[in-house]
């Protein structure tokens, strides 16, 4: 009997699950708090909760992680040197620490515009050898001819030994700026991903598991561990990918909408006929537009651990805090501190000044702190402190900007009232300390003139409204978000109807079923194992390989003769269109099969779907101006990997 282990290291919790390969039934699950900056501690804690007898028989491990996403969002990637090849200027800022433009590049047909300036490349590489951890290179029209990118890569490898990421390796899309950005972000992630993968492999070895290790990509497919090392950018946003794949598997539905309520955020997405919808232009991460194909989703800062606070009205988020009910378990004297914490004046209230807000050190080692940040850290230690206690120690209120900076760097952690606490008070989710949650609700509800239970029901209802708003604004993209919000907020005798099932994922989602059902007319499903849906998703992602090949006439003056075929490995010339088309189909299928067989998949289990797009303007009677052929190889790795 063979089993598979799924791991999802989310923003708040790390989930693990063991599936039996023969029937995909869930045998065991585990959950632990995600640990920063070392995610492996949380992963290890979660795995420790699994049945060791099942673990012994695990033959496949698949991982979904927020590591790449958080690194980009927090701007903690390693320093990178970027080489732009071509006589052009990119007008926008790029995420590279060092950047140079050198002569070279090609035209749209892949013909060399001018020779590569090898001397400039060599000088740049040598000057940065001890300043960066990786290099990125993006050459003008490298998608038509990657010759100059490959030359730069070989030069840098020879002179420095550092990893080099070529733009054409990550994307066949046109757009020099986006391709350069994607290459730089990928290069920043390589050292961090190496460390994480090494830790995963070490954990597998230490537990004596004879297992293949995969990572989930942001398009819902999986990648082998060596591919993840080279292209970690493809693992960004794998959380939403895990949720939609897990929801589809647990519900048995090929078509459904998914609402995944995590601790940090709520993610909404849709899967149709077993295939998630992808972002057409590529994912945007940390404000950077990339060429990374990721699942299309709507994410809102509205999770189970979103901060509930009061200033003229009840507010939820956008920041995540540690729930009061959990803090009471982690810190033995926290309940008493919360009980004694004075109620601030209503006029003083803001996000940080709340009767239920506390701060504590995380253990993250700070870097390059300002003088004011260092002074505040002399006060905030390993036991939670309220603003009132910080005031007594510093003789003044801490600057909100300083608090925000330390929170963003994860040097300190905020504790506060959350929707999770509200559910504890209502008795609908009681994982942690109910009494502490009740104390927090009493203190906050005093500002609302509502009873404790009415206050908590109002919080719960607002979270459900936010979930409905995220879903409807995603489905009705471009149809006016203000109107959707108004309809959900106002008491009007109208209800949205959704014609596909809605699957809810997350620990406490069952508690929101009734509220959501009242807001949206749909078949709403809460799978039995909704709490570990992402870990299941990490495991059931499909082995998918996409390849795009383009055919264009070499000259528009004579478009019926001489054609160029552009593949991920270069360009080839053909005299006739039919020969070019036949070659494109042949090489595309060969590349799909070769890639997926090296991934560990037998040829008999691989299905290849082919789609063709023709660019033919009105009145055009010659062969197509451009033919784009997309090959998609699909295989579910769970049943096929040896």
Q: How confident is the model at residue 135 (pLDDT cuts 50, 70, 90)?
A: very high
Report the C-alpha gap between 316 and 308 in whole angstroms: 5
The pLDDT assigned to 417 comes to 96
Average pLDDT of the segment spanning 72-88: 79
Helices (H), 490-557: 513-519, 533-540
End-to-end CA distance of the chain: 13
Question: In this model, does residue 641 exceed pLDDT 60?
Answer: no
Q: Do the beta carbons of residue 599 and residue 543 sit within 8 Å?
A: yes
For 459-617, where are the E strands, in sequence order? 496-497, 502-505, 520-521, 524-525, 543-553, 563-567, 570-574, 607-615
Question: In this model, does residue 225 exceed pLDDT 80?
Answer: no
Structure tokens at 168: 């054409």
The pLDDT assigned to 503 comes to 93
Average pLDDT of the segment spanning 224-239: 75
Dump pLDDT digits (tens) for 455-492.
999 999 999 888 888 888 788 776 655 666 666 666 55
Q: Which long-range contacts (CB under 8 A, 24 or more apart) does 591-594 make?
A: 591/547, 591/567, 591/631, 592/545, 592/547, 592/631, 592/632, 592/633, 593/633
> Cα 428 to chain center, whole Å?
29
CA nearest to 30, candidates 15, 19, 13: 15
Top-ranked range on mean pLDDT: pick from 108-112, 172-176, 457-461, 470-474 = 457-461
Question: In this model, does residue 436 exceed pLDDT 90?
Answer: yes
The pLDDT assigned to 483 comes to 62
Question: In this model, does residue 642 exceed pLDDT 50?
Answer: no
The pLDDT assigned to 543 comes to 65
Question: In this model, does residue 534 exceed pLDDT 90?
Answer: no
Q: Do the beta carbons of residue 299 and residue 186 sit within 8 Å?
A: no
* Higher-confidence position of 334 and 593: 334
The pLDDT assigned to 489 comes to 64
Dump pLDDT digits (tens) for 537-587.
888 766 667 788 999 898 888 888 899 998 887 789 999 999 999 999 999
Q: What is the DSSP letter of 79?
A: P
Q: Which residue has the tokens 């939609």?
A: 244
Q: Do the beta carbons of residue 524 and residue 504 sit within 8 Å?
A: yes
The pLDDT assigned to 17 comes to 92
Helices (H), 446-576: 452-475, 481-489, 513-519, 533-540
Question: In this model, does residue 317 exceed pLDDT 90?
Answer: no
Residue 504 in 3-state DSSP? strand
CATH 3.40.50 fits 66-236, yes or no: yes
The pLDDT assigned to 600 comes to 59
Dump pLDDT digits (tens) for 336-352.
999 999 999 988 999 99
Domain spans of the chain?
66-236, 306-454, 543-640
Dump pLDDT digits (tens) for 299-311.
777 788 889 999 9
Weakest-pLDDT range from 495-509, 532-546, 613-627: 532-546
> Cα 530 to chain center, whole Å?
19
Q: How confident is the model at residue 145 (pLDDT cuts 50, 70, 90)?
A: confident
Average pLDDT of the segment spanning 246-255: 89
Burial 1-33 (b: 16+ CB within 10 A, else e): eebbbbbbbbbbbbbbbbbebeebebbbbbbbb
Percent of the chain's residues with pLDDT above 70: 90
The pLDDT assigned to 471 comes to 84
Structure tokens at 469: 């708003």
The sign of the dihedral angle between the CA atoms of 131, 132, 133, 135 is negative
Stated as kind and residue range, the H or E segment containing 398 is none
* Higher-confidence position of 229 and 92: 229
Weakest-pLDDT range from 210-224, 238-252, 283-297, 454-468: 283-297
Stated as kind and residue range, the H or E segment containing 523 is none
Report the C-alpha gap between 548 and 588 in whole angstroms: 8
The pLDDT assigned to 478 comes to 61
List beta partners, residue 84: 101, 138
The pLDDT assigned to 640 comes to 40
HSE (side-chain half, CA atoms, 13 Å) at 256: 26
Stated as kind and residue range, the H or E segment containing 276 is strand 275-276
Question: In this model, does residue 439 exceed pLDDT 90?
Answer: yes
* Higher-confidence position of 434 and 78: 434
The pLDDT assigned to 103 comes to 92
Question: In this model, does residue 235 exceed pLDDT 50?
Answer: yes
Weakest-pLDDT range from 169-173, 427-431, 608-612: 169-173
The pLDDT assigned to 337 comes to 94
Instruction: Please return the burial class of 182, using the count of CB atoms within 10 Å of its CB with bins 0-12, 13-18 and 19+.
Output: buried
> In 3-state terms, the chain is what percent helix, strand and coil (to 5)?
40, 25, 35
Q: How confident is the model at residue 639 (pLDDT cuts 50, 70, 90)?
A: very low
Q: Is 0.85 surpassed by the pTM of this model?
A: no
Q: How confident is the model at residue 334 (pLDDT cuts 50, 70, 90)?
A: very high
| Most distant CA pair in the chain, distance | 85
Average pLDDT of the segment spanning 356-370: 85
Instruction: Please return the burial class of 461, using the count of CB atoms within 10 Å of its CB with bins 0-12, 13-18 and 19+.
Output: middle
Dump pLDDT digits (tens) for 178-219.
888 888 888 888 888 888 888 888 888 889 888 888 888 777
């Amino acid at each position: 009997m063979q089993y598979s282990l799924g791991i999802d290291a989310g923003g708040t919790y790390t989930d693990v699950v063991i599936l039996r390969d023969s029937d995909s039934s869930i045998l065991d699950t585990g959950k632990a708090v995600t640990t920063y900056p070392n995610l492996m501690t949380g992963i290890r804690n979660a795995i420790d909760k699994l049945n060791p007898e099942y673990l012994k028989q695990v033959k496949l491990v698949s991982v979904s992680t927020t590591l790449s996403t958080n690194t980009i969002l927090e701007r903690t990637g390693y320093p990178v040197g970027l080489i732009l090849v071509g006589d052009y200027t990119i007008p926008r800022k790029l995420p590279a620490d060092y950047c140079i433009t050198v002569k070279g590049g090609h035209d749209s047909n892949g013909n060399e515009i001018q020779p590569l300036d090898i001397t400039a490349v060599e000088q740049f590489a040598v000057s940065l050898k001890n300043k960066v951890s990786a290099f990125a290179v993006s050459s003008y029209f490298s998608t038509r001819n990657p010759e100059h990118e490959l030359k730069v890569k070989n030069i840098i490898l020879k002179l420095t030994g550092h990893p080099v990421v070529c733009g054409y390796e990550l994307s066949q899309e046109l757009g020099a700026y986006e391709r350069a950005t994607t290459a730089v972000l990928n290069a920043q992630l390589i050292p961090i991903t190496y460390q994480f993968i090494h830790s995963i492999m070490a954990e597998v070895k230490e537990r004596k598991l004879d297992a293949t290790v995969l990572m989930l990509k942001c398009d819902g497919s999986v990648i082998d561990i060596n591919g993840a090392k080279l292209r970690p950018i493809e693992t960004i946003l794998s959380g939403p990918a895990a949720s939609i794949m897990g929801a589809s598997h647990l519900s048995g539905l090929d078509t459904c909408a998914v609402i995944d309520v995590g601790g940090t955020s709520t993610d909404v997405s849709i899967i149709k006929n077993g295939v998630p919808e992808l972002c057409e232009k590529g994912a945007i991460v940390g404000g950077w537009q990339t060429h990374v194909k990721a699942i299309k989703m709507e994410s809102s800062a509205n999770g189970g651990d979103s901060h509930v606070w009061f200033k003229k009205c009840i507010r939820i988020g956008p920041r995540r805090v540690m729930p009061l009910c959990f803090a009471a378990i982690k810190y033995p004297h926290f309940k008493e501190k919360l009980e004694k914490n004075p109620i601030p004046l209503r006029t003083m209230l803001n996000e940080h000044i709340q009767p239920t807000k506390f701060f504590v050190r995380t253990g993250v080692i700070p870097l390059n702190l300002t003088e004011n940040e260092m002074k505040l850290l002399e006060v905030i230690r390993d036991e939670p402190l309220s603003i009132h206690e910080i005031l007594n120690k510093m003789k003044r209120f801490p600057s909100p900007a300083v608090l925000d900076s330390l929170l963003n760097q994860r040097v300190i952690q905020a504790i506060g009232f959350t929707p999770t606490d509200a559910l504890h008070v209502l008795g609908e989710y009681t994982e942690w300390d109910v009494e502490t949650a009740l104390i927090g609700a009493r203190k906050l509800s005093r500002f609302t003139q509502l009873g404790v239970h009415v206050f908590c029901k109002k919080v719960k209802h607002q979270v459900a409204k936010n979930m409905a708003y995220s879903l409807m604004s995603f489905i009705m993209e471009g149809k006016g978000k203000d109107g959707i919000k108004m309809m959900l907020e106002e008491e009007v005798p109208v209800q949205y109807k959704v014609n596909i099932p809605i699957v809810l994922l997350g620990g406490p989602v069952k508690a929101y079923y009734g509220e959501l059902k009242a807001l949206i007319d749909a078949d709403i499903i809460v799978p039995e194992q909704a709490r570990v849906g992402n870990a299941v998703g990490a495991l059931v992602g499909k082995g998918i390989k996409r390849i795009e090949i383009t055919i264009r006439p070499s000259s528009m003056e004579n478009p019926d003769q001489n054609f160029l075929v552009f593949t991920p490995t270069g360009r080839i010339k053909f005299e006739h269109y039919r020969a070019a088309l036949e070659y494109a189909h042949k090489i595309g299928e060969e590349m799909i099969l070769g890639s997926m067989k090296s991934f560990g998949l037998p040829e008999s289990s691989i299905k290849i779907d082919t789609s063709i797009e023709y660019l033919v303007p009105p009145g055009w009677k010659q062969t197509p101006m451009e033919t784009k052929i997309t090959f998609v190889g699909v295989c579910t790795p769970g049943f096929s990997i040896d």
